[in-house]
A = this chain, B = another copy of it.
Amino acid sequence: MSQTTNHQFRLAARPVGLPKRSDWNYTEEPVRDPGPSEVLVKNLYISLDPAMRGWMNEGRSYVEPVKIGDVMRASAVGRVVASQNQNFKAGEHVFGLLGMQEYAISDGKGLNKIDPNLAPLPVYLSALGITGLTAYFGLLEIGRPVAGETVVVSGAAGATGMVVGQIAKIKGCRAVGIAGGREKCDYVVRELGFDACIDYKAEKVLESLRQHCPKGINVYFDNVGGQILDAALACLAMRARVAICGAISQYNATSGIQGPANYLSLLVNRARMEGFLVFDFAARYAEGVRYLATWRAQGKLKSKEDIVEGLETFPETLLKLFSGENFGKLMIKVADS
């Protein structure tokens, strides 16, 4: 393998606001052979996630920040090229934190085999991947929806949001999405079966929420923060549950986070707002994937992938997440096989 070249994106600087191309170094190095217990993986699809923005900041969070000079942390699916680890064989497909690069060396920890016959590879980064599991555990364990209740999800056309709404429907709830633009809203209603979807770019979110949630919001799954979170808080039903999954509207803020001014709705409605991280449910991933795959096979759970070709597009492709431009699970296709 020593003739093969690996290309990588390494963090060059901690961004202020939106990450720029100059915050990255695009580097090249020869691929090395795997050592004892190691696996060499060729990345095929690499996941682009809002959480990446947080990993680029200095300071305490739920994981260590990516160090300056390190290959950017990223989930990916790939193919084992060579292995000195008895658990993996050349030709097998795997999922793991393989980084924003063409080839990765892994010691096998956190590397999971996937079956390309059960679902196409990109689906292992969307509905059957971390974003699907985030929807599954966040909605069911934090939101705890009951049949007949109203579930609202922001970022409804995003990778997690679209799964949240579909699981809400599977559980017998009313599902109302919030997304940007008519095309996305039409998609989640017509293709995914949401009961309604509010176009935050064209509608007054508060008024539309009141209209589409006449009995109030029982479960609000928040991916965006900011004014949309505030509008949802204003519409909570008694004993509502607000699951805080993310706050993409705030990740690039340079003048401080906008706190939810309507948080006292939690008091008036005896409601609960709770944050969660999917990684805390790692011991139950197999259960989650089993349910998600079953629903997918039954035609109850659809996924949509937004696939951009070429590792070298990474700096610009990442920005699609923050401009609201992506539609479905954003990922980069690095190679065919």
Q: Cβ of A244: which chain B residues have Cβ within 8 Å of it?
A: 263-264, 266-267
| Bound-complex Cα distance A62 to B270 (A) | 9
Asked if A263 and B263 sit within 8 Å, CB to CB, the answer is yes
Q: Is A16 part of the binding interface, using a Cβ–Cβ cutoff of 8 Å?
A: no
Instruction: Please determine whether A277 and B273 come into contact, CB atoms closer than 8 angstroms.
Output: no
- Residues of chain B within 8 A of A60, CB atoms compared: 268
Q: List 25 A-B contacts (CB under 8 A).
A: A61-B268, A225-B264, A244-B263, A244-B264, A245-B267, A246-B267, A247-B267, A250-B264, A257-B261, A257-B262, A257-B263, A258-B259, A259-B259, A259-B261, A259-B263, A266-B273, A266-B275, A268-B275, A269-B275, A270-B277, A271-B274, A271-B275, A272-B273, A272-B274, A273-B273
* Across-interface contacts of A261 in B (CB, < 8 A): 256-259
State in angstroms the CA–CA spacing of A185 and B112 once bound together.
55
For A246, list chain B residues within 8 Å (CB).
Answer: 267
Excluding A245-B267, A257-B262, A263-B263, 14 further A-B contacts by CB distance (< 8 Å) are: A225-B264, A230-B259, A247-B264, A250-B264, A256-B261, A258-B259, A258-B261, A259-B261, A264-B275, A267-B276, A269-B275, A270-B276, A272-B274, A273-B273
Query: Is there contact, CB below 8 Å, between A266 and B274?
Result: yes
Chain A residues engaging chain B, CB cutoff 8 angstroms: 60-62, 225, 230, 244-247, 250, 256-277, 280
Contact partners of A245 in chain B: CB under 8 A: 267
Partner of A272, one of B225, B263, B272: B272
Q: Given the complex of chains A and B, what is the CA–CA distance between A246 and B270 in angstroms?
A: 12
B263 touches A273 (CB 8 A): yes
